[in-house]
Structure 1
Amino acid sequence: MSEEYEVHGPHDHAVEHAGHAGHRDADPFASRMAVMTAILATIGALCAYQSGNAENLALFFKNEAAIKKTEASNQWSYYQAKGEKENLAELGAALSAPNSDAHAKFAADVEKYKKQKEPIRANAEAIEKQVVAADTRSETLLHGHHRWAQATLLIQVAIALCAITLLTRKNWLRNVSYFVAGAGVLTAGAAFFGL
């Protein structure tokens, strides 16, 4: 026959006692610090999520800028190739007899390449504007990520201070934890509003 023994530790007795005692024997200091810690943990989790989200979006837009930069470079290479063909056609026109069929063909090619270059140049410039926009967006998001990360750090420090306050029961330490928590919330607000 197997008998199992249940051993209770001091923590179990304290929890059981708190459960039976009701609200009148509850420690208001500990209750406030527990609620404060729970609120701070929730705010910290939201800040950490926003920090990660901002970082991911910043990386996305930085990658988008790199892709667009390559695309713009390809367009400028294409533009340069058309320019070289135009230069060769101009050279052919200059070297051929003025009223010959070859001269007329080269002159027509010069005009054709001039017309082909303009839309390529306009496209390359438009893509370069997209690169600048994506880079700017990435930098803005990265700045926001730093603010969210700072807010998360301050909230975590405030949670640690709340735990120490609960152990030491020092009012001045409680006030410091409130101050650090407030700084964390203000920093999160700055991140939210893009400051």
Structure 2
Amino acid sequence: MAEALDTIQDEVQEHAAESRFNGFIALFVAVVATFMALCNVKDGNVVQAMQQAQAKAIDQWAYYQSKGTKQHIAENSADMLKTQLEMNPGLKPEVRAKVEAKVAGLEAAAKKYEKEKEQIKTEAEQAAKDYDTMNIHDDQFDLAEACLSVAVALAGVTALTKKRWLFGVACAFAGFGFLFGLAGFLHWNLHSDVMAKVLG
């Protein structure tokens, strides 16, 4: 009778320990999944901002090219008018003055386009830098989500198999996931080129 009671007591204690362990795994999964969801939302916002930065860079470079085209047209037109003035030395003074004024206006426009191009180039380069910076954070969130997903999967397998070492592996993946997720949120310069290439 005493042996039966001891066996029942052992089974109750074992069941209670398993129940606590499963409860801890459930809490672990809830925390990891919540952080993973936050990373996913932030990553979506980062991707949208990256698309905007990329679109801005493309627009600015197109604008830069259009200003360059206008500059070349103005310079070529001024050169043609100067050539005409040189080839026609006998033009009436009022006609010559009008052509010279036109040449001066075209040269001024060409200089204005050159200045505008520099400003546009600066904005385009900044948009490209912004894109590159955000791409690092996008990679961080991608790495975080991958590690956290593996951690949740391993935690589920741990609950089924009761292998505590497997839960340790899940915790390791979760640790990396939290590290990369926090790096993305806090703009840390933490990046794994190897992992980014594997996941890219």
**1:86-140 per-position Cα deviation (integer Å, ceiling 9, x unaligned):** 1011101111216742433333322221122222211121111111111111121
**In structure 2, distance between residues paired with 1:163 and 1:53:** 29
- For residues 192 and 43 of structure 1, do their structure 2 counterparts lie closer, same or farther at Cα, with a shift above 3 Å needed? same
Q: Is the 8 A contact 1:96 1:103 kept in 2?
A: no
Give secondary structure in 2 for the equivalent of 1:97: coil
Aligned match for 1:161, one of 149, 154, 161: 154
**In structure 2, distance between residues paired with 1:159 and 1:174:** 10
Deviation (angstroms), 1:25: 5.1
RMSD: 1.8
Determine the structure 2 residue equivalent to 1:62.
Answer: 54
Determine the structure 2 residue equivalent to 1:112.
Answer: 105
TM-score (norm 2): 0.80
Determine the structure 1 residue equivalent to 2:172.
Answer: 179
Among all aligned residue pairs of Structure 1 and Structure 2, give the percentage whose two residues are the same amino acid: 22
TM-score (norm 1): 0.82
Give every structure 1 segment of 4 or more consecutive aligned residues whose post-TM-superposition deviation is greater than 6 Å: none
Higher helix share: 2
**In structure 1, distance between residues paired with 2:102 and 2:80:** 9
Aligned match for 2:41, one of 49, 53, 71: 49
Task: Show the 5 A alignment for 1:88-107.
Answer: 88-97=80-89, 100-101=92-93, 102-107=95-100
Q: Is the 8 A contact 1:151 1:185 kept in 2?
A: yes
Q: Is the 8 A contact 1:92 1:106 kept in 2?
A: no
Structure 1: 5+ residue runs without aligned partners? 1-23
Give secondary structure in 1 for the equivalent of 2:89: coil
**Structure 1, 25-34 or 141-150: larger mean CA deviation:** 25-34
Give secondary structure in 2 for the equivalent of 1:56: helix
Task: Show the 5 A alignment for 1:111-150.
Answer: 111-150=104-143
**In structure 2, distance between residues paired with 1:151 and 1:77:** 46
Code of the aligned partner of 2:20 = P
Deviation (angstroms), 1:62: 0.3
Structure 2: 5+ residue runs without aligned partners? 1-14, 190-200
Q: Is the 8 A contact 1:44 1:152 kept in 2?
A: yes
